[in-house]
Amino acid sequence: MLEQLLSTESFAAFLVFCRLGSAFALLPGFGETFVAMRARLLCALAVSIVLTPAVSTSLPPLPAAPIGLIFLVCQEIGVGLFLGVIARTMLSALQTAGMIVGMQTGLSSALVFDPGFSQQSAATGAFLSMLGIVVIFTTDAHHVMLAALADSYVSIPAGRLPPLDDFTATIVRVTADSFALGVRIAAPFLVFGVVFFFGLGLLARLMPQLQVFFLAVPLQIALGLAVFILTLAIGMAAFLDEFRGSLTAFGR
């Protein structure tokens, strides 16, 4: 009896860890490349142990055949990766916004290493990506990520074949929403670019002897940074609202 109880409990914890562990590999903040792998593993294990008693009644029984266990584990890993991709895709909106900001402010050639995406990107994109992670944790939005993982056992029950068509439609929709959010955050800079370059063109026609491009670069950077400072708080607030909304959709 004790052996059967331990087997059942360990299977439930292992099944929860399959979903949460794969999600933690991609979640913003938890799944960053600069976070030690042991730290990510310990966080996933700790949350799995805490969550197992709450969702154990909704978990399927231990399959009798090994192929059934493998199939079930692959399903849970796929669901966890799906949830992680949703959160990571919403974070990439800041990368899109940073790229547009860099182009409009003349800082697109100022490349730095972005630790969030493990690649070279514009300084504005790397700054917004890291700021987004900071905002998520300082506003306790990471609790929304953890709550979405727990509530996913209601919207996506364990042991059932995941709705692949709904998964595909959701990923397409979230990708479109992420790009639209990035453009919305960078919208003031699009307006700034149109007005600034229109003014430069008009100035070049009125004063042909003026070295427009010699004047344009420092003025573009100075005015762009001023617009960046004025609109940063509004843009991050819009990102936080969309980020929360994309995850609460998996709630009860």
Three-state DSSP class for residue 146: helix
Going by C-alpha positions, the residue among 108, 133, 121, 153 that lies closest to residue 34 is 133
From residue 38, alpha-carbon distances to 41, 42, 114 in Å are: 5, 6, 22
Q: What is the predicted pLDDT for the residue at 195?
A: 87
pLDDT along the chain (252 residues), means of 10: 55 87 88 82 88 83 79 88 90 89 79 67 83 90 87 82 81 91 91 86 76 77 88 91 81 52
φ, ψ of residue 113 to 5 degrees: the values are -80, 125
- End-to-end, the C-alpha distance of the chain in Å comes to 35
Q: What is each CA distance from 115 to 94, 123, 131, 236, 240, in whole angstroms?
A: 14, 12, 12, 19, 20
pLDDT at position 184, please? Answer: 92
Q: Enumerate residues 6+ apart whose C-beta is below 8 A from 26.
A: 81, 84, 85, 87, 88
Give the model's pLDDT for residue 117.
Answer: 64
- Of residues 188, 178, 182, the one with CA closest to residue 229: 188
CB-CB contact of 142 with 29 (8 Å): yes
Q: Which domain holds residue 118?
A: 2-104+113-248
Tally of domains in the chain: 1
CB 158 within 8 A of CB 59: yes
Can you give the pLDDT at residue 1?
Answer: 44
Specify the pLDDT at position 8. 62
Residues 6+ apart with CB under 8 A from 163: none
pLDDT at residue 239 in the model: 92
Task: Output the pTM of the full model.
Answer: 0.83
DSSP string, 158-202: TTSPP-HHHHHHHHHHHHHHHHHHHHHHTHHHHHHHHHHHHHHHH
